[in-house]
Amino acid sequence: MSRFLAAALVLLVSSAVMGQATSKASSQKKPTADELIGQWMEMSGWTSDKHEAVMTKWTGWETDGVIVSAFDRAQPNSFLAETSIPGDTQKTSIGSTGKLNWFYTSKGEGDDVKVLELETLTPQRLFLFELIFNPMWLGSIESHSRKIINAGKVDFSGDSCWRVLCLPNGARKAVELYFSTETGYWRGLKTRLEGSKANAVDVRVHIDEFGFAGNSTLAKMPGPGLPVHLRIYNNDDLFQDLQVEQFKLQDAISEFAIPAAVRNMANKNKVQRSKSSPTRNPEGSGASGTNHAKLISMIGPELMTASGQSVPTSDLADKSNVLLYFSAKWCPPCRKFTPSLVKFFDDHSEDGDFTVIFVSSDKSIDQMTQYMKDYKMNFYAVPFSRVGPSGLKSTYGGRGIPNLVWIDSNDNAIAKSYVDGTYVGPTTVLQKFNESMSAR
C-alpha cells in the first residue's frame, strides 16, 4: 500500500495550487502558519464562476501508466483518484464522499474482478489525500488539525522555505508543508506514513514546474498555473517522476463513483477500522467493542465534526469512558471553561481510553459549528437536529451550562457538574476524571 500512497501524493498540489501569484512572503519577519496558509490561499484564488470541477491526468505512473484525479468545489469533502496501466487490469481507487472514504485495489475485469486490498484511510492518510485531491479543503485545514505551527526556516529542494507542521486530528505523525520565504509558493511536503518502524515510509514531494498543460481557460486565471512536473521521493529514493498531460475543467461532477466492493462493505458495516487508530484497551478498562449501547441508541447513527463530516456513532463502542459536554457559545462561563477541556482532550486523547462529545445548546447549527471551529474542538458533537430528540439533556443534563458529565462503559454517570441539585461545575468533573486516568 505504501507505493500507492506515496505515488498518490503527487496530486497534493494538482488540486490545491490554483494560480499562485508572484507576491513575496516576508523574509524579515517570521509569519504565523495561519498567515502562510492564508497568503497561499489568496494567491491561489480560483476565479472561474463557470467551472467548479477539475480533472487532472498525470503520466508517468509506473513509467507508462496514468493517474486521473477529480474534485468539485461544490463538494468540498469529496475527491476521487484512480490509477491504470496499459495492458494491466490492476487498478487502484482512492476517494472520499465526506462520510465514507476508501483505499481499494483490484485486479481483473467484469465478473472476474478480485479484491486485492480494501480498507478505510487512517486519520493521517485521509488528511493527506484531502490535501492531494481537494483544493477547497485546505481552507478548513485548521479544523482538521490539533496543532499548526511555523517551525522556522529550512532548506527544501534547494530553496529557503518556511516549514509548517500540521498535526492531523487523531494522528501521531505531522505533515510538513513548505512555503518559499521569497515567493510564498508551496514548494512541497514531507511526512512519515504511519506504520510499524520497519514499514514506515518517508515521503517527500517536490514541485519542479508550474503551467497550464495547454488549457486556455486555466491560462486566463491569475498566477503561473498548476504543478505540471513533480518528483516523488520514497525513503530518499526517486520513486515517481510525473508530468501533467491534461487539465480538464467541468461545470460539476454529479456523483463520485464508489467502487461496488466499497459499497458492499459499507452497507454491511464491515469496512475495516484504521490500523493506526487502534482501540485502546488499558488493563482493567473493560472496553470490548460493545460499550455505550444506550448512548449510541440515544444519539442515533452519526456524530459530526466541526467541519460537518459525519462519523459513525458505533465508534463509541470501543471507548470505556465518555465525557458529555453540554455547552453553548453564547454562555460566558462556557467560553471560559471550553479551552481547558479542549487542551485536556488534545493532550490525552491519544493515550486515554475516552472521548468527549459536545451537546450543543446553541441557537442554530451555524452557531454550533462556529463555536466548535473558534475553540478548535477536535472531538465529536451530537448533530444539532438530534440534540432535542436524543433525550440527552433530560437524562444527563442539569439546570444550566456548562455541564460536564463523565459516564462509564455502561452509560452510568460517574461524576456530574450537578450533585444532588448543587452545582459543582465542570472543572471538578474533569479533575476527578484526570485523577482516575493517573491512577491506572
pLDDT in tens, the chain (440 residues): 555 454 454 444 444 444 444 444 444 588 999 999 888 888 876 666 666 788 889 899 888 899 998 888 777 778 899 999 999 999 999 998 877 889 999 999 887 889 999 988 888 888 888 887 877 777 778 878 878 899 899 999 889 999 999 988 877 788 999 999 999 988 988 998 865 445 678 889 898 888 888 888 888 877 777 788 888 898 889 998 989 999 898 888 877 788 888 887 766 544 333 333 333 333 333 334 678 999 999 999 999 988 888 888 888 888 889 999 999 999 999 999 999 999 998 888 766 688 999 999 999 999 999 999 999 998 999 999 999 999 999 999 888 999 999 999 899 999 999 998 899 999 999 999 988 877 65
Query: Which cell is 408 given?
Result: 462509564
Contact 181, 160 (CB under 8 A): yes
Contact 375, 334 (CB under 8 A): no
Rounded-to-integer distance, Cα 84 and Cα 412, Å: 53
CA distances from 400 to 162, 265, 423, 426 (A): 46, 43, 9, 11
Rounded-to-integer distance, Cα 120 and Cα 141, Å: 20
Contact 327, 402 (CB under 8 A): yes
Which of the four CATH numbers 3.40.30.10, 3.30.365.10, 1.10.580.10, 3.40.50.1820 does domain 290-439 have? 3.40.30.10
Mention every residue, 6+ apart, whose C-beta is less than 8 A from residue 30.
150, 152, 162
CA distances from 67 to 4, 9, 245, 257, 366 (A): 11, 11, 10, 15, 38
Query: Which cell is 5 given?
Result: 500512497
Nearest residue to 88 (alpha-carbon basis) of 109, 115, 117? 109
Query: Which cell is 238 given?
Result: 526517486
Domain boundaries, the chain: 2-250, 290-439
Give SS3 for 155. Answer: strand
The DSSP bridge pattern shows strands 145-156 and 159-168 to be antiparallel
Nearest residue to 143 (alpha-carbon basis) of 175, 172, 166, 174? 166
Nearest residue to 210 (alpha-carbon basis) of 340, 44, 95, 1? 44
Rounded-to-integer distance, Cα 116 and Cα 384, Å: 40
CATH number of 2-250: 2.50.20
Contact 416, 429 (CB under 8 A): yes
